[in-house]
């Protein structure tokens, strides 16, 4: 099958066949797990050639591994990228991306509607390395992004579907701002997955994922991935990105000259090789296996999420539901443009009665699992104000729209009626506690 034939195949077909290789004499149908630290060299000269980069081939799993490469090729294909790099976790993917683009004295501009771990990484850990960061309160306020870009800004960072507020990103609008200033837009596409949205097709330059979530899908392993769109012209900005467009290797070439389309990815691979956040090939295998059912899971999970969000919004014990699939959401119009196949399956519900109501509701659930994770085949519940966002004070929580009654739900593959019965039981437990008359609504 040629590359062009392959490009015409549908998503559901490519999630099974992209990057599929059956090497070796035994022709295994599934991707083999190459659980090995290193790979033999035939002789003295081959060892040198592998290290000098004059011959393709594997040497050591921190540098590359066939199972990991199979996962990379499949994800790159599904995201419409030119290549991908698999890492040990989503945080490793975010950190490696930023480390590959910034030097001390540089600046990062990020949406404030991002994963809390990423926000803390940018704000605390990168600051310690001399990298400044500013956050944009409304991710779709193009003028605010535009005004905050500095001469030292090296990337714009946002999430396609932020949690818990579901303020869906207008990818094309923010990509346009980034490109006007000659910097790339990096999009964390974890909650959308390439089945619902491919940010590279809307102008983003780099996509990152926590593969621990929907890609692996079953709550078993951690993983992360960086996908390069291959379109950003690094060679035009040697002062901003000297590591890509000025510094020369042994062959006398810069990364941008050696491979214009994958210069960023090749450099990120070197950053990862040096810092070492590599995935186990066993985890790569489980991520590949998860991806084979991605479209089926995500379509069903999104449909169930919409059904549950619609039901929840009608319950008297519910103050509000933040789900871009609902017509009541201020982000419904952007979602309709970018997420026609479904709006994802992670959303927030705010229970009337504040933190005490959230506690009673959470503890009354029997089917939903109390857990900090999302994108699992099982439905999960978490109280952000006391867990993921525990380092925020009241003012910062309010600025993020995260009230004490707000719960994050990640909808799994259970029968929707069973999930509704569970939510109904939890709302009944809150009502029975009669908080509103004794404590007063908060």
Ligand X SMILES: *Cc1c(COP(=O)(O)O)cnc(C)c1O
**What span, in angstroms and rounded, lies between the C-alpha atoms of 408 and 411?**
10
CB of 315 to ligand X, least distance (A): 27
Q: Say if CB 344 and CB 196 are below 8 A apart.
A: yes
Element containing residue 320 per DSSP (H, E):
strand 318-322
Does 97 contact ligand X by CB under 6 A?
no
- Report in angstroms how near the CB of residue 210 gets to ligand X at its nearest: 3
Decide: is 193 part of the binding site for ligand X (CB under 6 A).
no
Report the C-alpha dihedral over residues 53, 58, 61, 63, rounded to 10 degrees: 20
Site for ligand X contains 295 (CB under 6 A): no
Compute the least distance from the CB of residue 216 to ligand X, in Å: 9
Q: Which residue is nearest to ligand X (CB)?
A: 90
Piece of 112-120, 328-336, 402-410, 433-441 that binds ligand X (CB under 6 A): 112-120
Cα 428 to Cα 439: distance, rounded to the nearest angstrom: 17
- 111 sits near ligand X (criterion: CB under 6 A): no
Rounded-to-5 percentages of helix, strand, coil across the chain: 45, 15, 45
Applying CB under 6 A, among 67, 160, 210, 388 the residue interacting with ligand X is 210
**83-92 burial: b if 16+ Cβ within 10 Å, else e:** bbbbbbbbbb
Task: Report if residue 222 touches ligand X, rule: CB under 6 A.
Answer: yes
Question: What DSSP character marks residue 162?
Answer: -
DSSP 92-125: HHHHHHHHHH--TT-EEEEESSS-HHHHHIIIII
Specify the stretch interacting with ligand X by CB under 6 A; choose among 1-9, 88-96, 237-245, 401-409. 88-96
Contact of 87 with 225, CB cutoff 8 Å: yes
Q: Are strands 185-188 and 132-136 parallel, antiparallel or unpaired?
A: unpaired
Nearer to ligand X, 117 or 401 (CB): 117
The reply to whether 199 sits near ligand X by the rule CB under 6 A is no
Burial tier of 382 (Cβ tally within 10 Å: 0-12, 13-18, 19+): buried
Distance CA 272, CA 89 (A): 12
Which residue lies nearer to ligand X by CB, 177 or 191?
Answer: 191
**Interaction mask 381-420, ligand X, x per CB under 6 A:** ----------------------------------------
Q: Tell the residue number behind the tokens 């499949």, with chain if given.
A: 74
Q: How far apart are CB 372 and ligand X at their closest, in Å? A: 9
Q: Find the shortest distance in angstroms from Cβ 159 to ligand X.
A: 6
Residue among 167 and 188 whose Cβ is closer to ligand X: 188
Task: Spell out the alpha helix ranges (H) of 22-65.
Answer: 44-52
Q: Which of 117, 238, 260, 401 binds ligand X (CB under 6 A)?
A: 117
From 90, 219, 279, 317, residue interacting with ligand X (rule: CB under 6 A):
90
**Distance of closest approach, residue 223 Cβ to ligand X, in angstroms:** 7
CA distance 297 to 299: 6
Shortest separation between residue 203's beta carbon and ligand X, angstroms? 20
Per-residue x/- track, 128-167, ligand X (CB under 6 A): -------------------------------x--------
Cite the DSSP H helix spans in 102-227.
116-120, 126-128, 142-148, 171-180, 193-196
Whole-number Cα distances in Å, 52 to 37, 56, 259, 408: 20, 10, 17, 49
For ligand X, which stretch binds (CB under 6 A), given 57-65, 113-121, 234-242, 421-429?
A: 113-121
For the CB of residue 231, give the shortest distance to ligand X in the complex, in Å.
23
What string of DSSP letters covers 346-371? Answer: EEEEEETTHHHHHHHHHHH-SSSEE-
Q: With CB under 6 A as the rule, give the number of residues binding ligand X.
A: 16
Residue 3 C-beta: closest distance to ligand X, Å: 31
Q: Does 224 bind ligand X (CB under 6 A)?
A: yes
Q: Which of 15, 67, 153, 190 binds ligand X (CB under 6 A)?
A: 190
Reported as half-sphere exposure (CB side, CA atoms, 13 A), residue 291 has a value of 35
Out of 15, 65, 89, 388, name the contact with ligand X by CB under 6 A.
Answer: 89
| Residues in contact with ligand X by the rule CB under 6 A | 89-91, 115, 117-118, 159, 188, 190-191, 210, 212-213, 222, 224, 374
């Amino acid at each position: 099958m040629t590359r062009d034939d392959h490009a015409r195949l549908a998503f559901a077909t490519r999630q099974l066949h992209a990057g599929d290789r059956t090497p070796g004499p035994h022709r295994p149908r599934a991707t083999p797990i190459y659980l090995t630290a290193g790979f033999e060299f035939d002789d003295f000269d081959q060892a040198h050639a592998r290290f000098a980069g004059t011959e393709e081939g594997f040497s050591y799993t921190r540098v590359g591994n066939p199972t990991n490469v199979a996962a990379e090729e499949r994800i790159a294909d599904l995201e419409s990228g030119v290549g991908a790099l698999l890492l040990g976790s989503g945080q490793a993917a975010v950190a490696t991306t930023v480390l590959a683009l910034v030097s001390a004295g540089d600046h990062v501009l990020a949406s404030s509607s991002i994963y809390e771990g990423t926000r803390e990484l940018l704000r605390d850990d990168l600051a310690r390395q001399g990298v400044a960061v500013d956050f944009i309160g409304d991710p779709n306020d193009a003028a605010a992004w535009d005004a905050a870009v500095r001469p030292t800004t090296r990337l714009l960072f946002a999430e396609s579907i932020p949690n818990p507020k579901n303020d869906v990103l207008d990818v094309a609008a923010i990509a346009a701002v980034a490109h006007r200033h000659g910097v790339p837009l990096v999009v964390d596409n974890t909650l959308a997955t390439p089945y619902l949205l491919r940010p590279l097709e809307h102008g983003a330059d780099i996509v990152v994922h926590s593969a621990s979530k929907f890609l692996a899908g079953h709550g078993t392993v951690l993983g992360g991935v960086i996908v390069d769109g291959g379109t950003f012209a690094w060679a035009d900005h040697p002062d901003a990105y000297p590591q890509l467009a000025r510094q020369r290797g042994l062959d006398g070439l810069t990364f941008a000259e050696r491979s214009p389309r994958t210069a960023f990815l090749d450099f990120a691979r070197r950053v990862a090789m040096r810092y070492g956040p590599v995935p186990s090939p066993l985890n790569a295998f489980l991520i590949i296996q998860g991806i084979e059912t991605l479209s089926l899971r995500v379509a069903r999970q999104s449909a169930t999420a919409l059904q549950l969000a619609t039901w929840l919004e009608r319950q008297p014990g519910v103050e509000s539901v933040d789900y871009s699939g609902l017509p009541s959401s201020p982000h419904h119009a952007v979602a309709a443009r970018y997420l026609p196949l479904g709006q994802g399956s992670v959303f927030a519900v705010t229970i009337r009665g504040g933190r005490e109501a959230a506690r009673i509701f959470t503890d009354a659930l029997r089917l939903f699992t109390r857990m900090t994770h999302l994108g699992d085949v099982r439905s999960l519940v978490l109280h952000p104000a006391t867990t993921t966002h525990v380092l925020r004070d009241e003012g910062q929580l309010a600025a993020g729209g995260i009230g004490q009654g707000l719960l994050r739900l990640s909808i799994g593959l259970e029968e929707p009626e069973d999930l509704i019965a569970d939510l109904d039981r939890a709302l009944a437990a809150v009502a029975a506690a009669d908080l509103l008359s004794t404590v007063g609504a908060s």
